[in-house]
Structure 1
Amino acid sequence: MHFVSADFDLKSYTLEIASFPGKHTGVRIADLVLSLMQQWELDALRLTKIVGDNGSNVIKACKEMDVNHFGCIAHSLHLVVSGALAKTRDEVRASINRAEAHTVAFNDVAEPEADGEQWEEDPTIEIQAIDDVERELESTSLSGSASIEFDAESFDLETDDCLDEGMLDGCLSERAAARIMDVMKQAMAETRKHVASFRKIVTYFNKSAKAKAKLKVLQDVPVPVTVIADVATRWNSTHQMIRRLLQLRPALQRFMAYVQTSSGREEFSDVTIARPTGEMWFHIQCLEKLLVSFDGMTKLISGESYATLPLVLPCLRLLEKRLANKYIFTRVSPAHVGEPYYNATLKRMQLVRRLFLILLRKRFKNPPLDVTSCCLLDPQFANGEFLSTAEREASEQFLVSEAMRLAGANVVDADTNSSFEVYSEDDEDFASELLGLKQWTPEPDAPEGLPLREQVKAELKLYFAKCKLRDKTKKQNKSRDKSMAKTPARLDNALIWWKVNENDFPYLAPVVRKYFGIVATSVPSERCFSTSGNTITARRNRLSGANVRDIIFIHDNSVEEKQDDDQETQDSLQTQRF
């Protein structure tokens, strides 16, 4: 449960963990949730949103409860990129067979790293994730026009982006759109194969303590690291795996060279992994450049102690801008220029980039009105730079109507379309790129004695002017302070600003409390799920459901744990980088 307190602090509590055997139909889910809410004497009429994945049963449950559903943004982002990352069914089956047939010396079993988690995946869940990926790719067959065709000789499908927008708008013929999409999907499949090859390398080192120890020795650094395994249900884990592999590339190459020697063959006679080629390294270098922005956005919108809903639209628009950059691979490509594989690989990764962009635009084509409006209630984005003129006007009208409704006036409900349609340089600070330069205008006085609608409009105008004044002041302070000018811009917690300025905006403040309490992702529930997994272990597998529920309730809601989580998420807000 998430809400903004009277002091403008974002509060999160784990109230219940319930056993739910049987079919997870929408009606049964709704009945269970309503039953639990009654136990806690919670009024369903005061629910603003229920955040979850885009499963049909979850959406059905929300309809049964007459509560707006909000699709988890992190889950939707994961579906955009998972076509290039996910395992195939053959991989999952092969890993199961290897696990059943493989025998290893007792003294060569690799232990989990002391400073990290050992992520293991249930094969059933992996297959389910693969099904989600395949459904996502099947849904990319875009409708086209029967009349508008293109001359294949006039375009290079592997380098020209000019046709992509026409595909989304339905301006191309179905045959033309299908041809372009097939080329993109082939590039995606090739990338997926290379990721699978590197995954085998990671699996080998995670299974063999001897190989892992040798890899650490070959790094020749004070604090050596090891490989990271990806897991289908761990968003961004494949990016973390790839990034660590790139970091370990010199050590991996030394290891591969060593096992080719006579002593190496004798010591590691069980090695069956292939040495990565330059083409394979180039593939994952380019892929990492694409994934780093998804990783940065997911981390930023997954916090629990600061408002995340107003960050969604600015992050999506920035992500779209980065994916639209044809020169995104400029930093990694020079090292491969002249190699036989260079041109083909670069074209292939440009196709993957374009497919990511198409999937992103299709899935987030029409952002809900309440999401665009929330963006304006964050002082950092109050100038509306991430909104079109039409979106800005509609958002302002929505804020006025919501403020009036919360003030007790009868206002016709706006259609907020509470779920999205189901369809730079990476080391620069993400916050710096989100925050732009704004123009300043003098702050007007708030008129009194006007009708309610005019009072709310005047208050909204006053709010925008105050935000411009804030931006102008920060800009002037930064220009005066040379040391501050060198410091990357950091995102501020909008709730802190509202805590200070609440009394100046009596109509807008309740709107902020209502919508800033909505978290942008279901990550808090995923964290609770992880806590459950850490609670029920091989040595503690006879706990009753009631005991597990009580342990997690105490863990998640204890004062010390909340303070640690708040500090962690505040640090995340201040240090997010793409």
Structure 2
Amino acid sequence: MPSRDTVSRTALDDVYESMLDNVKVQIKTDVAGHAAITFDIWSDKYRHLNYITLTLHYLTTDFELKSFTLCTKLIEGKKTGEKIQAILLDIKECFDLQEKVLHSVTDAGSNVKRAISLAALDSHLCLGHGLHNLIVKTVRYRLPELERAAEKEQIEFLHSLERVSEHLEMDENEPIIDDEGSEFNSVSGLQTSDEFCNMNHVPSIKTSSPTRWHSMLAMLESLAHFCNRNPVNRMLSQISQHDLKIYQQEWNLLEDLIRFLREFREVVEMLSTQKTASLNLALVFHLEIRDILNSLSDEETLIMLTLKNNMLAKLDKRFPITDKIVVAALLDPRFINLSQIDTYLEQKNTTRAAFLAEYIKIHISGESTTMATLAPAVITSFSNDSVLSKLSKKHSCSGTSSILTSTECNEADQECWMYLAAANACDVKDDDILNYWQNKKKTFPLLSELARIMLAIPATSTPSERVFSIAGLTVTVKRSRLSPVRVNKIIFINDNYTLCKKTQF
């Protein structure tokens, strides 16, 4: 019976090599010309080594979305663009991707931009990073601006929450007892919403992470729970931080902020999906976020109004509308009639069909130039109770608009006109846009190939970021001396096992 050391040293290498060969075969078989690549940099918390993780995403001819973790490599010294580019070139050679068109999805770091430029990759901003910066940098790092626009007592609670999270280390198994011996002292006259009084789930106090806006929301939600309010203030009194105590007006403002941030959670979760297409959802979510930031109520506080205005001013920078986003929306029948598409195409002096046809000509070669004459048609309405269908109705143009403005076209133009004329959101069953295009391959061969390219591009680089969690379970305090080579092999096996198992590697 071999020891665990023998198994870990020999079996790990054998499994890794076997899976690596399997992944290479799948990529070579499935990827014809285009694929998407995401990468992000992270550090282990024990030795503080910098790693970069790269993932590949593509749609097969049957519109099955596949995602592989290609590697997790150590970056020694400074994380320069040149070093990242060298890793990209190594990976392209390792997986025979030199002749493929790679669409990268990354953050906006200067070193990342440099690497993409050097590697001559087609690039798209990670919308997850954009939303994170939109929220976090406005809420946490723009406090001086808010202070000038809002009353001082309304602002100080944001400072307080940050300092509370730094000082508070409460053991939830040892509740704080007040002077009368009760665990929680009720506050007379406290007006707390029912959503913050769930006695079946009393969260422990969370702290925030500067790289995860979700953690800030989790921290605020844990602090705002009714059962935690008195213990928080008592703890602050015990450590002589009386000036940090949170009062009723501040609790009310905290509740407003939590409700506001919760509206972003569903958007981020749907954009960060790894199981289906997500870039086609970006435009409708951009419009919904803009609508959230423009919405006002009679009870809106000055600080919340200032917060929304600051975020609205940065929305187009953090969450830009690009050609790829518009093309992806046009390839989803549910979103063809979004009002923002008209605005965007008017600025480019083009039409929906011409815009799609141009992308076909750029990314797909070999279309012929036969001529055809088509009759005008309009987009068909639909009825569906899903979240996406409701958002589509909300942000679509009112009434019906003519699709056709020209009567003569080549094959690409003809197919685009036919698609736009026949597009019906009811054909997208169970919000499965990939199944829709699988069924339309024969009807719209050029557009289905374009959809195969564009819908494989994830809206965010979350697939690379998810590796951070696996890495946290891999590089533990007991295994902090793992070599970078073994870290790469362990993560590679963990992430790719399911897809490789299907092919019986």
Do they superpose with TM above 0.5?
yes
Pick closer, same or farther for the CA change 1:429–1:225 going to 2, 3 Å.
Answer: farther
What is the rounded CA distance, in whole Å, between the counterparts of 1:189 and 1:3 in structure 2? 51
- C-alpha distance after superposition, 1:536-566 (max 9, x if no partner): 1111212111111111111111118999xxx
Q: Gaps (5+ residues) in structure 2?
A: 1-55, 185-196, 369-384
Residue in 1 that maps onto 2:205:
227
Q: 1:61 aligns with which of 98, 110, 115?
A: 115
Using a 3 Å threshold, how does the CA distance of structure 1 residues 184 and 510 change in structure 2: closer, same or farther? farther
Give the conservation status (yes or no) of the 8 Å contact 2:136–2:213: no
Deviations 1:171-193 (A, max 9, x none): xxxxxxxxxx9567654998774
1:159 is matched with none
Classify the secondary structure of the residue corresponding to 1:518. Answer: coil
| 2:215 aligned residue (221, 237, 248) | 237
| Distance of 1:512 and 1:191 partners within structure 2 | 49
SS of 1:231's equivalent in the other structure is coil
Larger strand share, 1 or 2: 2
Deviations 1:19-70 (A, max 9, x none): 1112222222112210122122222x42332111111211111111111221
Query: Does the alignment pair 1:391 with 2:377?
Result: no
Distance 1:430 1:547, change over 3 A: same
Q: Compute the displacement of 1:204 (Å).
A: 5.1
Alignment check: 8 A CA contact 1:48 1:514 kept: no
Residue identity matched to 2:279: L
**RMSD over equivalenced CA pairs, Å:** 3.8
**Contact map agreement 2:80 2:111 (CA 8 A) in 1:** yes
CA distance, structure 1, for counterparts of residue 147 and residue 91 of structure 2: 46
Moved over 6 A (4+): 188-192, 213-217, 437-441, 560-563
* Counterpart for residue 58 of structure 2: 3
- Change in CA separation of 1:270 and 1:184 when aligned onto 2, cut-off 3 Å: closer
Verify the 8 A CA contact 2:85 2:115 in the aligned structure 1. yes
Counterpart code for 2:413: K
Match for residue 231 of structure 2 among 244, 255, 272:
255
Correspondence for 1:22? 77
2:353 touches 2:417 (CA, 8 Å); kept in 1? Answer: no
- 3-state SS in 2 of match to 1:37: helix
Question: 2:478 matched to 1:539?
Answer: yes
Whether 1:291 and 2:248 are equivalent positions in the alignment is no
1:404 and 1:507 in contact (8 A); partners too: no
Alignment length, in residue pairs? 407
Structure 1 pair 190/360, CA: closer, same or farther in 2 (3 Å)?
Answer: farther
1:310 CA displacement? 1.1
Indicate the SS of the match to 1:16: strand
Matched, 1:374 2:313: no
Corresponding residue for residue 194 of structure 1: 157
Asked if the contact 1:184–1:355 (Cα under 8 Å) also holds between the matched residues in 2, the reply is no
Looking at structure 2, the residues matched to 432 and 193 of structure 1 have their Cα atoms a distance apart, in angstroms, of 41
State the match for 1:313 in structure 2: 283
Residues 383 and 464, structure 1, Cα contact 8 Å, conserved in 2: no
Instruction: Identify which of 48, 52, 70 aligns with 2:102.
Output: 48
Q: Residues 463 and 507 (structure 1 numbering): CA distance in 2 closer, same or farther, change over 3 Å?
A: same
* Matched position secondary structure for 1:49: strand
Distance 1:562 1:352, change over 3 A: farther
Where does residue 126 of structure 1 map in the other structure? Answer: none
Write the deviation string for residues 266-293 of structure 1: whole angstroms up to 9, x where unpaired.
xx95574643112211222222233223
Say whether 1:516 aligns with 2:472.
Answer: no
Inter-partner Cα distance in structure 2 for 1:514 and 1:378: 14
For residues 283-338 of structure 1, the C-alpha deviation after alignment (integer angstroms, 9 at most, x for no partner) is 222222332233222111101111111111111111101111122xx5xx4xxxxx
Q: Residues of 1 paired with 2:472 and 2:232: CA distance?
A: 36
Give SS of 1:48's match: strand
Q: Is 1:281 equivalent to 2:251 in the alignment?
A: yes
Going from structure 1 to structure 2, the CA distance change for 1:190 and 1:27 (only over 3 Å counts) comes to farther
373-382 or 401-410: which moved more?
401-410
* Cα-to-partner distance string for 1:53-111 (whole Å, 9 max, x where unaligned): 1112111111111112211111111111223443xxxxxxxxxxxxxxxxxxxxxxxxx
Partner residue of 2:193?
Answer: none
8 Å CA contact retained: 1:311, 1:375:
yes
Question: How far 1:390 sits from its partner (Å)?
Answer: 4.7
CA contact (8 A) 2:279 2:328 kept: yes
Given that 1:231 and 1:238 are in contact with CA atoms closer than 8 Å, whether structure 2 keeps it comes out as yes
**Alignment partners' CA distance in 1, 2:500 and 2:286:** 31
Cα distance between partner residues in 2 of 1:189 and 1:7: 59
Work out the CA distance in 1 between the residues paired with 2:432 and 2:147.
40
CA distance in 2, matches of 1:502, 1:206: 58
Post-superposition shift, 1:397?
2.3
Structure 1 distance, partners of 2:420, 2:108, is 34
The aligned residue for residue 401 of structure 1 is: 358
AA matched with 1:237: S
Query: Which one is further off, 512-521 or 493-502?
Result: 493-502
Shift of 1:389: 4.5
**8 Å CA contact 1:374, 1:515 repeated in 2:** yes
**What is the alpha-carbon distance in structure 2 between the residues aligned to residue 196 and residue 358 of structure 1?**
23
The 2-side partners of 1:205 and 1:13 are apart by: 40
Ranges in structure 1 where 5+ consecutive residues have no aligned partner: 87-132, 138-180, 334-344, 412-427, 445-449, 475-489, 564-578
Q: 1:530 to 1:47 in 2, by over 3 A?
A: farther
Would the alpha carbon gap of residues 289 and 386 (structure 1) be closer, same or farther in structure 2, given more than 3 Å must change?
farther
Give percent identity, aligned residues only: 24
* Residue aligning to 2:312: 357
Describe the SS at the equivalent of 1:539: helix
